Structure 1
Amino acid sequence: MKLFRCQVCDNIIYFENRTCGRCGHRLGYVPELEIMAALEPAGGDAWTPLAGDRGLRRFCANADYDVCNWLTPAEGRDRLCVACRHNDTIPDMSQPSHLAAWRDIELAKHRLFYGLLRWKLPLKTRAEDPRHGLAFEFLADPPHPSGPKVMTGHDDGVVTIALAEADGAEMEKRRAELAEPYRSLLGHFRHEVGHHYWDILVRDGDRLEQCRAVFGDDSQDYDAALERHYARGAPADWAERFVSAYATCHPWEDFAETWAHYLHIVDTLETASAFGLRIKPAIDKDGAHSARLDFDPYVIGSIDEIIDAWAPFVVAMNSVNRAMGRPDLYPFVLAPAVVEKLRFIHELVRGAGAASREGKDKTRHGLAPLASVPFARTTG
């Protein structure tokens, strides 16, 4: 994630900020320009960004709930921003706890979209592509305690996130029960969207055999594999070949876990670079634990350069956490076999982004316009 500055007072501002803490200017994110902009009122619901093209913008309709700070063109047909227009079902806002949970969920989702948009990955809503469009359902468990619980997951482009995942106590409980120490809302989004991109970039993108050569045969029975995993657990030597224990249960989950870790790594390295961090411990005479985090991993760098920067940074992050009496922030080991899986994801993402940019260039020269996107449904 980048750092941003207020164009009025030069104060450092962050991705989630709504107003500048120094000068009080209203702030909004302009996704097509990848900037946080200080804003001046322009009449009605329009605002003038004090950066970029200065074209009139208005806030996403979900800003009314304080769950979004993204902007859309003031004259555009869409009242939802490029991230929120993928929402299919939102919680019942008459429940105060639902609104608080939705806000936390949207913070994570918007960070997900920051990365997807920076890579220029293909993004279509259900209105634009009823078969393969990406949609989100944010669902609450039924009020009766004995009722079926909402399961976070993916089904043919529809990602379901259980509102319970936004409850801190419930999240800690599930981390312990499922032995998933890195479980988080952002992790869920990155993992589940990995399944979506497997569908459109691997299965439908003529990369299936190449993917199977790296991740294994995905045609094996998924339900049986999942049942076996929860009954027996992961193999004792899983860390030699997989990024997580859960990745061992089926090639689809291996792909999604590896995809999520790739997104974690790139976004964290960009954040470190934005802060000007440099890893160079004085005791390290041969440079094995040194790294210069001075490149944009979204744009440049091979997977080897990214991993070479990541490995020392992980040691530093985990050491700081241990000094505070906390568990390792990144409790994973990237074995050579895992790096090769990350290489596949890296090349898939870079290739898809390049193809998407080429397609958008053609669209700008007179092909089909975007479809209008309706507001999301509300559910209790």
Structure 2
Amino acid sequence: MKRFTCQSCGQPVFFENTRCNQCHAPLGYMPEAANLAALAAEAGGLYHPIGQNEEPRAFCANHAYDVCNWLAPALQPKGTFCFACQFNRVIPNLNILGNTERWRKLEFAKHRLVYTILRLRLPVKNRQQDPQEGLVFDFLDDPPQGWPPIMTGHNNGVITIATKEADDAYREHMRVEMGEYYRTLLGHFRHEIGHYYWNVLIRDGGRLEQCRAMFGDDRADYQSALQKHYASAAPDNWREHYVSHYAMSHPWEDFAETWAHYFHIVSTLETALSYDMTIGPMVDGKPVLTHRNDPYLHMPFDDIIEAWLPLTYAVNSLNRSMGLADFYPFVLTAGVRAKLRFIHDVVREVQQTADQPFGLL
């Protein structure tokens, strides 16, 4: 995530902020410029980005629920959804106590996901553009007792996130019960979008055989593979080839888990570089890797790994100093790095050819 500053007063502001804490200027995110803009109110519920030659803009329709601070496209009528919220199909039932706050948490995670999709210049289509497999999000509450609970997952462009995953206590309980090192809302989104991009970039992108050579044969029966996975003990050497235990279950899950970690890495590296953190090797007292090396678009894979490993060592140590769990409790062995490199190469290849929703990113 980039570092943002209020254009009105110079105060640091953050991606989810709706108002500057110092000068109280309203803030709105402009996805086509990847910029959080301080705004001046105009008539008719419109806002003008301060100090920018831009047309007046309206907030996303979901701004009324305090779950979105993105601006709708220029010259669109009030009540239009922003780029990120156009992918919503089902939101939580707001008549259920606590669901507005759960939805807010879901939207914060989803907007960070969409930020990364745009920064990586990945192709994405909504349900209007692709009625069969366009991306759509369903945030679903569990049905009445006696019916099967909602499970988070992906099916032909439909990403379902169980609303209960926005409850910290439930999510931590499931993390412990499933023996996971890491379980967050953002992690769910990044994993499930990996399945979407397996369809878009691998299956439909002419890369099936290369992917199978790296991750295994996806034609293996999925349900049988899951049953076998949960019924078997993990071998001692599983970390040599898999970023997580769950990645062992099926090639689809291996790809999605690795994809999620690629998103973790480039997003966190951008944050570190944006805050001028010195990471990686030094030459003549100066860092080799600087904010000019954009991990989303320009940084070579070897440089990404060279920066990522010392960053995780440092932040894991900081967390331990506070009595917290490790920030990044994973081991990137040579086998895992080979899979991450495959995803990196696919992303870089796609960046050269994909049509972009915004030309300025």
Quickly name the TM-score band, shorter chain normalised.
Answer: over 0.9
Pair 1:309-2:310 in alignment: no
Aligned match of 2:202: 202
Give ranges in structure 1 of 5+ residues lacking alignment: 362-380
Where do 1:61-140 residues align within 5 Å?
Answer: 61-76=61-76, 79-140=80-141
* Residue identity opposite 1:265 in structure 2: I
| Alpha-carbon distance between aligned partners in 2 of 1:213 and 1:238, rounded to the nearest angstrom | 18
**Could you give the per-residue CA deviations for residues 20-72 of structure 1, whole angstroms, max 9, x where no partner exists?**
01100000000011100000112112110115442111000000111100001
Structure 1 residues 53 and 127: CA distance shift in structure 2, 3 A: same
| Alpha-carbon distance between aligned partners in 1 of 2:149 and 2:135, rounded to the nearest angstrom | 23
Structure 1 residues 94 and 227: CA distance shift in structure 2, 3 A: same
Where do 1:1-380 residues align within 5 Å?
Answer: 1-76=1-76, 79-144=80-145, 146-279=146-279, 292-294=289-291, 295-357=293-355
Aligned match of 1:368: none
| Alpha-carbon distance between aligned partners in 2 of 1:40 and 1:65, rounded to the nearest angstrom | 21
Structure 1 residues 291 and 90: CA distance shift in structure 2, 3 A: same
| Alpha-carbon distance between aligned partners in 1 of 2:188 and 2:95, rounded to the nearest angstrom | 26
| Alpha-carbon distance between aligned partners in 2 of 1:315 and 1:108, rounded to the nearest angstrom | 25
| Alpha-carbon distance between aligned partners in 1 of 2:261 and 2:197, rounded to the nearest angstrom | 14
Structure 1 residues 359 and 69: CA distance shift in structure 2, 3 A: closer
Q: Aligned-pair distance for 1:302?
A: 1.1
* Residue identity opposite 1:5 in structure 2: T
Q: Aligned-pair distance for 1:96?
A: 3.1
**Could you give the per-residue CA deviations for residues 95-123 of structure 1, whole angstroms, max 9, x where no partner exists?**
23111100000000000000001111111
Structure 1 residues 164 and 114: CA distance shift in structure 2, 3 A: same
| Alpha-carbon distance between aligned partners in 1 of 2:339 and 2:28, rounded to the nearest angstrom | 37
Aligned match of 1:371: none
Q: Which has the higher contact order (CA 8 A, sep 6+)?
A: 1
| Alpha-carbon distance between aligned partners in 2 of 1:342 and 1:321, rounded to the nearest angstrom | 25
* Residue identity opposite 1:311 in structure 2: L
3-state SS in 2 of match to 1:332? coil
3-state SS in 2 of match to 1:161? strand
| Alpha-carbon distance between aligned partners in 2 of 1:354 and 1:93, rounded to the nearest angstrom | 42
| Alpha-carbon distance between aligned partners in 2 of 1:100 and 1:68, rounded to the nearest angstrom | 12
3-state SS in 2 of match to 1:44? helix
Runs of 4+ in 1 over 6 A off after TM superposition: 358-361
Aligned match of 1:373: none
3-state SS in 1 of match to 2:159? strand
Contact 2:6 2:20 survives alignment (8 Å): yes
| Alpha-carbon distance between aligned partners in 1 of 2:289 and 2:354, rounded to the nearest angstrom | 31
Structure 1 residues 216 and 112: CA distance shift in structure 2, 3 A: same
